[in-house]
Amino acid sequence: MYFQRFYDTDLAQASYLIGCQKTGECLVVDPVRDISQYLGEAQAQKLRVTHVTETHIHADYLSGSRELAKATGARLLLSDEGGEGWQYTYDGGNQTRLHDRTGFMVGNIHIQALHTPGHTPEHLSFLVTDLPRGEMPTLLLTGDFVFVGDLGRPDLLDEAAGGQDTRFVGARQMFASLRDKFLTLPDYVQVWPGHGSGSACGKALGAVPSTTVGYERACSWWSKLAEQGDEEAFTRELLSGQPDAPAYYRRMKTENRDGPALLDNSGPLPELSAEDVKLRIGAGARLLDTRPREDHHAAAPLGSVNIPDGSTFETWAGWLLTPDHELILLASRQRAEALRRKLWMVGLDHVTGYLPNPDGLKTTPARPLDVGELQSHPDALILDVRSQTEYEAGHLPGARQLHAGRLPWLLDTLPRNQEIIVHCQGGARSAAAASLLRVEGFDVLELAGGYDAWAESHQQS
């Protein structure tokens, strides 16, 4: 058996390729839309992608399952569990529906789907047995069910998908899935989850890529509660302290359920002139300034949202941008192509060109406000764009908390006749959030250094 993990550090998301080297067949689990990595690896290993599946209807990124199945002619295997509203609504004529205990072969490798609801109603885990080595299972791909040191959150349907009190149903389902499925497996079974540290799909995910059933049984916070049957204590702990869910998760859920759009790979992005960019911005396009925030602060192009090219690009793009706007990248030719592919991950496909530098555009300084200048703005609204957990740990007096990942959907709750001072923990998230608010016409400043700078100044005083 050939096994390969692929990891997107921005989304903290893992996908997997499992291949039978004797027959040349392979399965890809939870692919992202940039399918070139799977095609390249399969070719390098002399494998062909014959099966594609996913553990559940994803919320944090747009699935590449449909894209990969179309490109390869592979069979697409999708969950048929979960009930109304949680079953896939599209079929390209190449689909097989999976239920609890459904098994299928990829060459000489046996894959069994286990229905493990909790994070979502339709969620599946995949138990893998390498039959040439024996009849005992080798590993379990758990998706957003069991992470290293934690569990998938059951509250996303409430937080981002429009549900009401589904978190309690999800917590009970998670408890049953652990008791009846996970804890019945042998200790030696390897556990390979769908996310690592940094994902918003859990609250305390471990940084190592995998674990085992035995290790989680012995060391996890939940195992004794599950074994003792204490569902009430389990539910309280599971639901406490979950991070804010970005609002774009609702869009991802819907698009992944109904069938992600197939990408139009019509060619490289064109370089646009400054005059063309200004006309497009005037017609409603967004210029995505991917330069460092210091460069943006020094000369912010009008109509630009600043999301720096780096390790959080995909995540912040999902937070702050919506697919109804044409997007133009302020980036070099080489980086523009790479960044376009990153935007695909969160369903932002309407990228029409790039501009290598801001020459010829109207710019304005966007200098952040020093902490000592706060007293000169007594009537300003202090907007804290950190998570609720960060806010509760300490915040500026009178500050309003609104997670940056919910900002584009709640703009009408912010005052347009009052100055707004935006801050986060250290200044990075607030810089991006403030640039969006400027584009939307708000009177906005940033607090230099964020909450950290404010807290330090008050310790010294």
Instruction: Dump the DSSP string for 199-265.
Output: -TTSSS--SSS-EEHHHHHHH-SSHHHHHHT-HHHHHHHHHTTPPPPPTHHHHHHHHHHH-PPPP--
The total number of residues written for the chain in this structure: 461
pLDDT tens figures, 144-157: 999 999 999 998 76
The predicted structure's pLDDT at residue 323: 94
Fold of 2-258: Metallo-beta-lactamase; Chain A (3.60.15)
Contact indicator for 329, 348 with CB cutoff of 8 Å: no
Q: Residues 63, 69, 70, CA angle at the centre, nearest 5°?
A: 105
- C-beta neighbour count of 425 within 10 angstroms: 18
Question: Which DSSP category does 321 fall into?
Answer: -
**Alpha carbons 461 and 459: distance in angstroms, whole number:** 5
3-state SS assignment for residue 300: strand
3-state SS assignment for residue 51: strand
The predicted structure's pLDDT at residue 86: 87
Q: State the maximum Cα–Cα separation within the chain, in Å, rounded to a whole number.
A: 74
Alpha-carbon torsion, ordered 222, 225, 228, 229, to 10 deg = -100
Contact indicator for 53, 78 with CB cutoff of 8 Å: yes
**Alpha carbons 386 and 451: distance in angstroms, whole number:** 9
**Alpha carbons 219 and 221: distance in angstroms, whole number:** 7
**Alpha carbons 253 and 65: distance in angstroms, whole number:** 14
**Alpha carbons 13 and 31: distance in angstroms, whole number:** 10
**Alpha carbons 317 and 126: distance in angstroms, whole number:** 31
Q: How far is CA 344 from CA 323, 337, 458, in A?
A: 11, 11, 43
Which residues of the chain form CATH 3.40.250.10? 274-364, 371-460
Closest C-alpha among 248, 335, 276, 290 to residue 435: 290
The predicted structure's pLDDT at residue 271: 97
Which residues of the chain form CATH 3.60.15.10? 2-258
User: Residue 108's Cα: distance from chain center in Å?
Assistant: 33
Which residues on neighbouring strands pair with residue 132, listed in sequence order? Answer: none
Is the domain 371-460 a CATH 3.40.250.10 member? Answer: yes
The predicted structure's pLDDT at residue 267: 86
User: Residue 450's Cα: distance from chain center in Å?
Assistant: 24
Positions of the chain with pLDDT under 70: 157-164, 198-206, 266, 460-461
Answering whether pTM is above 0.95, one says: no
Contact indicator for 311, 10 with CB cutoff of 8 Å: yes
- C-beta neighbour count of 180 within 10 angstroms: 13
Is the domain 274-364 a CATH 3.40.630.30 member? Answer: no
pLDDT tens figures, 332-389: 999 999 999 999 999 999 999 999 999 999 999 999 999 999 999 999 999 999 999 9
Helix (H) or strand (E) holding 452: helix 450-460
User: Residue 71's Cα: distance from chain center in Å?
Assistant: 24
The predicted structure's pLDDT at residue 241: 83
The predicted structure's pLDDT at residue 334: 92
Q: In sequence order, what DSSP letters do the residues of 400-459 get, joined into one string?
A: EE--GGGGGGSGGGS-SSS-EEEE-SSSHHHHHHHHHHHHTT--EEEBTTHHHHHHHHHH
Contact indicator for 58, 252 with CB cutoff of 8 Å: yes
3-state SS assignment for residue 425: coil
Q: What phi and psi, each to the nearest 5 degrees, are found at residue 328?
A: -125, 135
The predicted structure's pLDDT at residue 461: 55
